[in-house]
Amino acid sequence: MNVTFRQLSLFESVARNLSFTRAAEELHLSQPAVSMQIRQLEESVGLPLFEKLGKQVSLTEAGREVFHYSQGINRSLTEMEEVLESLKGLKRGHLHVAVASTVNYFAPRLMAAFHRAYPEIDLELDVANRERLIQMLVANSVDMVLMGQPPDSVEVESEAFMRNPLVVVAPARHPLSGVAQIPLERLAQEVFVMREPGSGTRQAMERFFMEHQLTIRQGMQMTRNEAIKQAVRAGLGLGIVSAHTIELELETGRLTTLDVAGFPIERQWYLVYRKRKRMSPPSRAFRDFVLNQAQTVGDIRGN
């Protein structure tokens, strides 16, 4: 089988985008040029790699296998390039970081501080829910992930880098606002706006109530922290969120935190990456930076 690195790189872009047009735009090539390289790759492999139904493009079984290996090959080539650059004494390279949606409330400050320290490193940031972050770790398509509880379903290394206190939020004029040490039994009488199943915040909330043998009165279900906060402001229930997500709302008086016995629920933010993954120089620099500087960069009142 005579396959070139260029063909695998083009194939990886088409497979990732599931679009010849978007791949051509991403690689600054014409679509016919991309299509020709993919045809040559299919001829070399001896199997079709894509199926086309109208304008929809999907991977065949052979295509999924080639996609898996092409990702690993492209990543190894990138790591080799970065290692060679580091041997030249250069602080260049590319860093792909994915963060949980809640982390994104302080991630831009963290990335900006890292960029000031390492201006020659090209940064790529993805914001995703927990399910998508786990998929990225499984595919080994990202250098580092910043998230809450590390997954058990993937072999990863994880290092705690900052506190992540979960607090109870309510509308500013809620009857419990200003009440000291609200008993958990009283809190359990309230309706809660919930995150989606699988969310790290929801898992921590459910575990906390279960440990205290209490039942959550579930109201509406939301997939974003912003939606949770808007629903709480509208009086649809209380919410349990990371203290990092409500800094602005507390400053403007739109929301308040309740003084509840047993709160905040103490959690941690984790730096997560695949086990036995060889770190590139940018990845090592980012890991060291996060472990040493994140607490200061992401600090909130009360931390």
Return left, alpha or beta for 18; rule: phi > 0 is left, psi -120 to 50 is alpha, else beta.
Answer: left
Strand partners, 80: none
pLDDT in tens, the chain (303 residues): 788 888 998 999 999 999 999 999 988 889 899 999 999 999 999 999 999 888 889 999 999 999 988 888 887 887 777 677 665 655 678 899 999 988 888 888 899 999 998 898 889 999 998 889 999 999 888 999 999 889 988 999 999 999 999 999 999 999 999 999 999 999 999 999 999 888 888 999 999 999 999 999 999 999 888 999 999 999 999 999 999 899 889 999 999 999 999 999 999 999 999 998 878 888 889 999 999 888 777 665 433
Cα(6)–Cα(41) distance, integer angstroms:
10
Place of tokens 């472990």: 291
Residues in the chain, total: 303
Q: 104 and 146 in contact (C-beta within 8 Å)?
A: no
Residue spans of the domains in the chain: they are: 5-69, 91-163+268-297, 166-257
Cα(253)–Cα(94) distance, integer angstroms:
41
pTM for this structure?
0.64
Residues 6+ apart with CB under 8 A from 150: 156, 158, 270, 272
Place of tokens 């060889």: 278
CATH 1.10.10.10 for domain 5-69, yes or no, is yes
Pick among 3.30.70.330, 3.40.50.2300, 3.40.190.10, 1.10.10.10: CATH of 166-257: 3.40.190.10
Strand partners, 238: 192
5-69 and 166-257 in the same fold: no
Q: Which CATH superfamily is domain 91-163+268-297 in?
A: Periplasmic binding protein-like II (3.40.190.10)
Place of tokens 């927990």: 130
Task: For residue 157, give the 3-state DSSP assignment.
Answer: strand
Cα(274)–Cα(168) distance, integer angstroms:
33
> Hey, how many other C-beta atoms are within 10 angstroms of the C-beta on 254?
16
